[in-house]
Structure 1
Amino acid sequence: MSVPLIELNGICKVYGGIDSPEVQVLRGVSLSIHPGEFVAIVGTSGSGKSTLMNILGCLDRPSSGSYHFAGKNVAELDSDELAWLRREAFGFVFQGYHLIPSGSAQENVEMPAIYAGTAAAERHARAAALLDRLGLASRTGNRPHQLSGGQQQRVSIARALMNGGHIILADEPTGALDSHSGAEVMNLLDELASQGHVIILITHDREVAARAARVIEIRDGQIVSDSAAGQPPVVIQGLQADDLRQRLNQGAVERGAWKGELVEALQAAWRVMWINRFRTALTLLGIVIGVASVVVMLAVGEGSKRQVMAQMAAFGSNILYLSGRHATLREPGGIVSLDDVAAVAQLPQVERIMPVIGGELMVRHGNNNQQFYVGGNNIQFPHILNWPVVAGSFFTEADERSGAAVAVIGQKVRDKLLAPGSDPIGQYLLIGNVPFQVIGMLAAKGASSGDQDSDERIVVPYTAAAIRLFGSHDPEYVIIAAADSARVSATEAAIERLMRQRHQGKADFELTNDAALIQAEARTQNSLSLMLGAIAAISLLVGGIGVMNIMLMTVRERTREIGIRMATGARQRDILRQFLSEAVMLSMVGGVTGIVLALAIGGGLLLADIAVAFALPAILGAFACAVVTGVVFGFMPARKAARLDPVKALTSE
């Protein structure tokens, strides 16, 4: 005798207990079903027939007794193996159709094949062929609400057959249909039975049950009659229990479907978001604001930092100052000579060098007298101090060699000495008692750290200052530009070694620079940027909480859909992936929208002359944070969905 596909021995099912009274629904049910049988289980409402169907279809577990499927004890199967049975062996046809509202007829039919790992082209073709066979070729793109009851039931039959449907479990398949549609459905079941499918029909209608070859009556949780009792089973050639058991042993472990499931999960997520687009928009608002805030705040912080650093650089971020000093209190002050300047200029760490001699002198133009700082410099002045000429020209090397009496003035020198709006080029200034011709005007620079305003300055050739104004050739101090602004300290060390060698080991000189000030300013700006980013990140956190809240609502609203997916073979990880994908997609859409909004706001700030500097790492970081937010806050609702009981999910309202 062949091994039965289904064998139940003493199956009992009890609900309740602990905090609620126990209700025994099944009381020692025993039966066997062989390949090719068409069985009708008939009983009144409350007789236990639907509970029996749920146990047969591995949607529920018995409280006691044994259930062997193809000779294998179902109690020993794990959740993945049970999902495999629902996916590969069973096909469910429900009274309420149980189609996913957001999916088309074609997508509903394809669902079991997606979880089975069937290639997209193959499942598309099979689903279309099944719908054509059932007279729905023109309805493949229609969603359930666009189909009649009979059409919806035919879609559910096509879904049950998608992976073969070796055992069709039909629970009151004609209960919600008119007589004509009901007759069509029963004709389909008759046809499937004649093709070798096992049909298990659950019904309260004895006329419908009479279509089956075997009728089992159940009452008060017990089988009271079986038309096949005492008769040998009729074995129809087709899939045998041994073959199905072998496929179960291999398929539940080996077959993977994550790629197809992920694509389907993303498509389903997008459909749900679009159908509920108003609610989606409100949910996205928190993430959009969070991402936009993070990106804009960091961009403003970075822009402010760059602006401040640029202003600091205008005063010389790579500049060192060399001057003489007293080595000890009893020794005269050291002198940095022009020979020292020439020697330092040869160091590879030095890019430019400029001796400076100067002081406050009275300057006169016409009847106007003012005191200004007058400095003797060489032609490196515009380059070493990043201080260009905006009118006229700077003096040349020939002017410096000849000690020409020419001057380049700051803008406030012009404003204070000359008539408003007059052109200073070509004018003569009496510096001390020496006339100098103005040949250029420096760009406005302002003051650094409360020092004297740099625009109240006059620059003349070093030789002219030494001979005509101050009577000394030794520089007051020397300005040195390091070749690498990131290695100012190394340049300083090299200069110090050279000067000690030239001054017989005496430290009768002093080296200073603004690097420490600039680094402190940079650290302050970095701290400001981080603070702004942290404040903005709070918005992103709030957005994440919104995602979790909406996903919890989604799980509650779509509990029946979760049950449908489980009935068609979805594993717990498939449900987890489905809802986690939706949370991540929400966050990704919000992240992209937030970035676009941030760029738009940044453009507006730039038009308003506010310093903004967008950095790609900051943008990518904000987007990554949005995605991580979706994963973190979407995981709990997704896990809750994955752990739902299939039967409770299917019967939820």
Structure 2
Amino acid sequence: MVSAAPFLDCAPGVPLISLQGIRRQYGGQGGQPAVQVLHGIDLEIGAGEFVAIVGQSGSGKSTLMNLLGCLDQPSSGSYRFNGQDVARLDGDELALLRREAFGFVFQGYHLIPTESARENVEVPALYAGTPEEERAQRAAALLGRLGLAEKLHLRPNQLSGGQQQRVSIARALMNGGHIILADEPTGALDSHSGAEVMALLHELADAGHTIILITHDREVAAQARRVIEIRDGRIVADSGAQAVRTPARALPAPRSAPVSPGLQFWSDLREAARTAWRGMRLNRSRTALTLLGIVIGVASVIVMLAIGEGARRQVMERMGTMGTAILYIGSKAPATGGPAGQLSEEDLQAVRELPEIARVLPVIGDPITVRHGRADKQVYVFAASEEMPAVHHWPVAQGRYYTAAEDQGLAPLVVLGHKAHQHFFPDTPNPLGRQLLIGNSPFEVIGVMSERGADSGAQSYDDMVFIPYNAGRARVYQAQTQPDYVVVQARSSEVVHAAEASMHRLLLARHGREDFGIGNAAARIQAEAETRRSMTVMLGLIAAVSLIVGGIGVMNVMLMTVKERTREIGIRVATGARQRDILRQFMTEAVLVTWVGGSVGVLAGLLVGGADCRGCAGGVFRDRDVRRICLRGRDGIAVWLHARQGRRARLDPVVALSGDLR
């Protein structure tokens, strides 16, 4: 912070204020007519003087006061304050001069309506960097000295005119008030209150303060010790300057202990946030409408993204490893001719040992006659290992699935599909322990799968029955020497292509020729996922329009707020606020409004979006839609299509996945 010492230390024999040839002109640019308000003002005012500048309305006295208080700059001429040329001071130094040297008392009081009496008095000390506790104590002491000890927490609209003027005088004295610039201080007061204010000014003058009183009332001006008359922008009379004397101030300027820039920044920011929050509370309707725009924008973005992402994840969860990390292996005749290859148990075990592979599921399936009592039906009998539910993310609804030990022990166990249960045991809610005849072999029912559905044009999963792989080979498919196809689950969707390449190298090395085919279902499913991700982005962009509209609303409200509060800005500038202080104040308000609206919007978006995500499978995507997505192009489609045609299901799953089957 720039030191105030060069401004306040009085040099012997140097007038406190010296004006030479001061002129002030308005307009004259852009084709506008020039208006000359001040015409070559020469004036000297010494420290400790009580000066009244009197003149009619339009004489230029208020313009002169603004120049003296460094609220305006002359068009030409020289203004020296305590021997220093004011024209050479930058913006921060001018703010420092207003803050440390001047105290303004206005006819209209010019108090900030949202602040209490004490907080209004504290404003100059706030910009001077005075600690919060110290400025509160000093403001209370000043108000108590002026007879307002019981009015500290009242706002300006709760005070009389005389009380408001005393608050403005206390504010002028907050940083010492070496020079009191009083613009028509009694103009809006009754005679009794006016007399009280003039008595206070006399008391301050006796205490050594320099008083410059601007008035059009000659009776008020006559109470000053020096009267300067101004007319048409010129000084026409001056009763004469008193001898310059060194003031003995009863209220010395406060000098606080130095505060570190970091602490000062956070103190200023906290005060700006407090003022902003109070302004939001006092303007509830406008604040609520502004917040509503932000809340709608933020919540819309979150809800749209949540719906899109939730639906995508729901679909991907239903697909599970059937889509995003699944590959298929099948035997085929090599392109160079010769018999079709054979997938042995040793081949499958070698594939299981690859680091990119999580599970290997050999599958044999055929339509077989299944009987129970008088009910018989051609049913697709799905023989696979105990890992089938985990690979296909398909839970058991009743009972359990068979274990690896039961599979190795050739246990005659069967798990029913949902519709198979209804067909063979229509009157038995719990069929566990009952017997089914599959082909010529009896199997015990140990579980019922949950309802899953069917792919378009294919036999329903729910019509099938599921038996252990080894038991199926030994008891039902004795002629089967190898699996119809093998489902391979990679450890993650990120390593699917690496897993495909590793399996290809492994099987090529073991067979010596390419008599096998590898189908990558993940690529197709990942394309579907990318499509849904693009839809999510599109929904997010649409929702972002609402957010942009909300942001524009905040900017518009902040612009209107600045225009509405030009009076407050002027008060803060007059009490020593720098440009960055004003900017910080309004930026803090904008950030606070945005933060509150954004927080509420995020909360609302999470609540609504969370509910939408939980219901997306039943709303945005119905269960049957999810099943179709999950099952389309997956393992067994060729088997089911050919089962419907009554043919043996020993097909190349790679061809099935390519969509060439009809």
Tell whether the structures are fold-level matches, with TM greater than 0.5.
yes
- CA spacing shift, 1:214–1:366, aligned 2, 3 Å: same
> Aligned-pair distance for 1:314?
6.3
1:2 is matched by which residue type in structure 2? G
> Aligned-pair distance for 1:100?
0.9
- CA spacing shift, 1:546–1:316, aligned 2, 3 Å: closer
Question: Paired residue for 2:243, among 233, 244, 250?
Answer: 233
SS in 2 for 1:158: helix
Question: Paired residue for 1:208, among 211, 215, 220?
Answer: 220
1:259 is matched by which residue type in structure 2? W
Question: Paired residue for 1:538, among 534, 545, 550?
Answer: 545
Match in the other structure for 1:30: 42
Question: Paired residue for 2:529, among 518, 522, 530?
Answer: 522
Question: Paired residue for 1:4, among 15, 20, 36?
Answer: 15
Matched, 1:587 2:594: yes
Please show how residues 24-63 of structure 1 align to structure 2 within 5 Å: 24-63=36-75
> Aligned-pair distance for 1:402?
4.2
> Aligned-pair distance for 1:119?
1.1
Contact kept in structure 2, 1:299 and 1:612, CA below 8 Å = no
Match in the other structure for 1:377: 384
Match in the other structure for 2:631: none
SS in 1 for 2:451: coil
> Aligned-pair distance for 1:385?
3.1
1:374-412 deviation digits (Å, cap 9, x = unpaired): 132233333333333332333344543443333222112
Please show how residues 175-324 of structure 1 align to structure 2 within 5 Å: 175-228=187-240, 233-237=243-247, 258-313=265-320, 315=322, 317-324=324-331
2:175 is matched by which residue type in structure 1? N
Question: Paired residue for 1:501, among 471, 485, 509?
Answer: 509
Contact kept in structure 1, 2:321 and 2:489, CA below 8 Å = no
Cα distance in 2 for residues equivalent to 1:302 and 1:569: 53
Cα distance in 1 for residues equivalent to 2:422 and 2:166: 93
Match in the other structure for 2:491: 483
> Aligned-pair distance for 1:522?
2.0
SS in 2 for 1:39: strand
Contact kept in structure 1, 2:297 and 2:544, CA below 8 Å = yes
Match in the other structure for 2:629: none
- CA spacing shift, 1:255–1:392, aligned 2, 3 Å: closer
Match in the other structure for 2:659: none
Contact kept in structure 1, 2:307 and 2:613, CA below 8 Å = no
Contact kept in structure 2, 1:372 and 1:456, CA below 8 Å = yes
Cα distance in 2 for residues equivalent to 1:608 and 1:350: 33
Please show how residues 596-611 of structure 1 align to structure 2 within 5 Å: 596-602=603-609, 605=612
Question: Paired residue for 2:104, among 85, 92, 95?
Answer: 92
Cα distance in 2 for residues equivalent to 1:477 and 1:21: 95
Q: Give the structure-2-normalised TM-score.
A: 0.85
1:555-583 deviation digits (Å, cap 9, x = unpaired): 22212111111111111221112122222
1:139-196 deviation digits (Å, cap 9, x = unpaired): 0111111001110000000111111111110111111111221121111111111222
SS in 2 for 1:455: helix
1:68 is matched by which residue type in structure 2? R
> Aligned-pair distance for 1:494?
2.3
2:502 is matched by which residue type in structure 1? A
Contact kept in structure 1, 2:24 and 2:75, CA below 8 Å = yes
SS in 2 for 1:416: helix
Q: Give the structure-1-normalised TM-score.
A: 0.86
Q: Comparing 474-483 with 267-276, which one deviates more in the overlay?
A: 474-483
SS in 1 for 2:170: helix
Contact kept in structure 2, 1:602 and 1:612, CA below 8 Å = no
Cα distance in 1 for residues equivalent to 2:305 and 2:262: 47
- CA spacing shift, 1:73–1:610, aligned 2, 3 Å: farther
Cα distance in 2 for residues equivalent to 1:22 and 1:345: 93
Contact kept in structure 2, 1:316 and 1:385, CA below 8 Å = no
> Aligned-pair distance for 1:450?
6.0
Match in the other structure for 2:654: none
Cα distance in 2 for residues equivalent to 1:170 and 1:377: 98
Contact kept in structure 2, 1:115 and 1:257, CA below 8 Å = no
Cα distance in 2 for residues equivalent to 1:144 and 1:512: 81
Contact kept in structure 2, 1:373 and 1:458, CA below 8 Å = yes
Cα distance in 1 for residues equivalent to 2:312 and 2:380: 31
Matched, 1:365 2:376: no
SS in 2 for 1:348: coil
Unaligned runs of 5+ in 2: 1-11, 621-662
SS in 2 for 1:13: strand
How many residues were matched structurally?
A: 601
Match in the other structure for 2:120: 108
1:83 is matched by which residue type in structure 2? A
> Aligned-pair distance for 1:525?
2.1
Cα distance in 1 for residues equivalent to 2:473 and 2:615: 48
Question: Paired residue for 1:121, among 126, 133, 136?
Answer: 133
> Aligned-pair distance for 1:223?
1.4
1:217 is matched by which residue type in structure 2? E
Contact kept in structure 2, 1:288 and 1:593, CA below 8 Å = yes
Matched, 1:568 2:575: yes
Cα distance in 2 for residues equivalent to 1:485 and 1:426: 39
Contact kept in structure 2, 1:12 and 1:64, CA below 8 Å = yes
- CA spacing shift, 1:546–1:358, aligned 2, 3 Å: same
Cα distance in 1 for residues equivalent to 2:90 and 2:388: 82
Match in the other structure for 1:647: none
Cα distance in 1 for residues equivalent to 2:585 and 2:405: 79
> Aligned-pair distance for 1:439?
2.6
Matched, 1:460 2:460: no
